[in-house]
């Protein structure tokens, strides 16, 4: 029996890439097909197998991205890209047949779903989005007593801002004096007294940013409060490592779109570490003394991961800039050289409409004005550009948007 004749019964390992963050595996049966051209059966067999693997990957999930380009108000390019989020760990070819000039191959594939970047580097539009990091609310302030971590609400914001600045993909502002949530249990869905979901839009306009990063420290508790008692017996137990000194840290992070107020990212992060500082030490959050504790090192490492995910999430969002003034064919807008805007860049013009749903909650609707702005002058924090028709004809107003997808 030749190697070729044994092929349908052999388990073929397919190493398509290094899978460093596997989420789930699943056996899937699919049928791939290919046309046999000029008797090239081996080529058709390879194409049929590739077709089967693509179908299997699509079953575990795919993302669809659109990219449009405009020139003088006309759509000149409209591309759609489909990206799968699964790879084949191994395959078994179950059956193979040829009907006419079509080769069919039935394949069992052990598919592994993988975590991927929200968008590949070559799909990002290259502009730096402006982000404001607000203060973090603390759900149970009394848990901050041990170590005097009462400054976590503002120090966490400062630390996160510094981490984001180091990644150098965003323009980051810190506004830790502001907090979004009055009612913490249901945040970020709790309503304000004006029956809007949050105060995001007001803060975003005030700070002239595209995204608002906020959050709630959900847990700073210790596993065993008695472990930090002041008696000789409890101090002795701590000295000999006989008490449970684990301390929890849990934070929920939100990213809101500053134009609509919608949540575009939400995730809870948790870690546990040993609080090995003296119970009477006034350590403070994110201080040098905090970083010397095992607990502090665990928290710092976790927050570095938070910064990476926040950065990746925001980087892959469309770039938006507010129109501040429209005069004839000239439009002024609130982003400049600091965000990567350059003369000659083109941005799509969108009208914004505020609306209220049946529950009287405010929302924002975008309508494509079908016009393209070409940047003419750039300053550090603002720029101007021109469109081919008078802005009055399109009814372009302040707070309408320029967008790069």
Q: What is the pLDDT of residue 232?
A: 65
pLDDT of residue 46: 83
pLDDT of residue 111: 76
pLDDT for residue 20: 33
Q: What's the pLDDT score for residue 231?
A: 65
Instruction: Report the pLDDT value the prediction gives residue 23, as an integer from 0 to 100.
Output: 41
Domain 7-116, classified CATH 3.30.1330.10, yes or no: no
Q: What residue spans define the domains of the chain?
A: 7-116, 126-315, 319-404
* pTM (predicted TM-score): 0.67
User: HSE on the CB side for 291, CA within 13 Å?
Assistant: 9
Give 255's contacts (C-beta < 8 A, 6+ positions apart): 211, 212, 213, 263, 264, 265, 266, 310, 313, 314
pLDDT less than 50: residues of the chain = 1-24, 63-66, 75, 78-82, 116-118, 121-123, 190-197
Compute CA distances 357 → 200, 362, 364, 365, whole Å: 18, 7, 11, 12
Q: What is the pLDDT of residue 18?
A: 32
Q: What superfamily does domain 126-315 belong to in CATH?
A: ABC-type transport auxiliary lipoprotein component (3.40.50.10610)
pLDDT of 43 reads 87
The burial of 57, by beta-carbon neighbours within 10 Å (0-12 exposed, 13-18 middle, 19 or more buried), is given as buried
- How is residue 278 annotated by DSSP? -
Q: How many residues does the chain have?
A: 405
**Measuring CA to CA, which residue among 403, 259, 255, 260 is closest to residue 333?**
403
Q: Which long-range contacts (CB under 8 A, 24 or more apart) does 287-293 make?
A: 287/155, 290/147, 290/149
Take residue 357 and report the two structure tokens written for it.
Answer: 């749903």
The answer to whether 340 touches 128, Cβ cutoff 8 Å, is yes
Select from 210, 134, 167, 212 the least CA-distant residue to 311: 167
CATH architecture of 319-404: Beta Barrel (2.40)
CA distance 118 to 115: 9
């Amino acid at each position: 029996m030749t190697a070729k004749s044994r092929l349908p019964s052999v388990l073929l390992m397919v190493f398509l890439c290094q899978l460093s963050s596997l989420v789930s595996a699943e056996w899937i049966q699919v049928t791939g097909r290919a046309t046999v051209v000029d008797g090239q059966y081996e080529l058709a067999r390879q194409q049929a197998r590739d077709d089967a693997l693509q179908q299997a990957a699509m079953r575990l999930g795919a993302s669809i991205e659109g990219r449009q380009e405009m020139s003088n108000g006309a759509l000149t390019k409209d591309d759609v890209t489909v990206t799968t989020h699964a790879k084949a760990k191994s395959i078994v070819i179950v059956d193979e047949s040829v009907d006419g000039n079509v080769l069919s191959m039935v394949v069992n594939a052990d598919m592994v779903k993988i975590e991927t970047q929200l968008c590949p580097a070559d799909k990002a539009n290259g502009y730096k989005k402006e982000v404001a990091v607000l203060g973090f609310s603390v759900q149970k302030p009394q848990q901050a007593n041990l170590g005097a971590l009462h400054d976590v609400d503002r120090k966490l914001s400062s630390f996160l801002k510094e981490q984001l600045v180091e990644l150098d993909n965003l323009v980051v502002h810190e506004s830790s004096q502001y907090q979004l949530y009055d009612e913490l249990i249901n945040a970020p869905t709790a309503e304000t007294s004006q029956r809007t979901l949050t105060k995001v839009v007001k803060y975003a306009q005030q700070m002239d940013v595209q995204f608002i990063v906020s959050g709630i420290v959900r847990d700073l508790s210790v596993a065993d409060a008695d472990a930090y008692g002041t008696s000789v017996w409890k101090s002795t137990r701590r000295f000999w490592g006989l008490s449970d000194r684990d301390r929890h840290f849990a934070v929920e992070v939100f990213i809101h779109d500053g134009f609509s107020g919608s949540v575009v990212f939400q995730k809870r992060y948790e870690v546990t570490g040993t609080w090995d500082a003296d119970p009477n030490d006034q350590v403070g959050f994110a201080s040098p003394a905090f970083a010397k504790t095992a607990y502090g090192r665990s928290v710092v490492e976790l927050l570095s991961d938070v910064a990476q995910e926040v950065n990746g999430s925001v980087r892959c969002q469309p770039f938006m800039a507010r129109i501040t003034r429209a005069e004839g064919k000239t439009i002024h807008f609130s982003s400049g050289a600091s965000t990567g805007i350059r003369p000659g860049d083109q941005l799509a013009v969108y009208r914004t409409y505020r609306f209220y749903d049946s529950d009287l909650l405010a929302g924002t609707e975008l309508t494509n004005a079908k016009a393209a702005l070409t940047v003419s002058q750039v300053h550090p924090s603002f720029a101007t550009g021109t469109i081919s028709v008078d802005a009055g004809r399109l009814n372009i107003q302040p707070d309408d948007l320029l967008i790069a997808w």
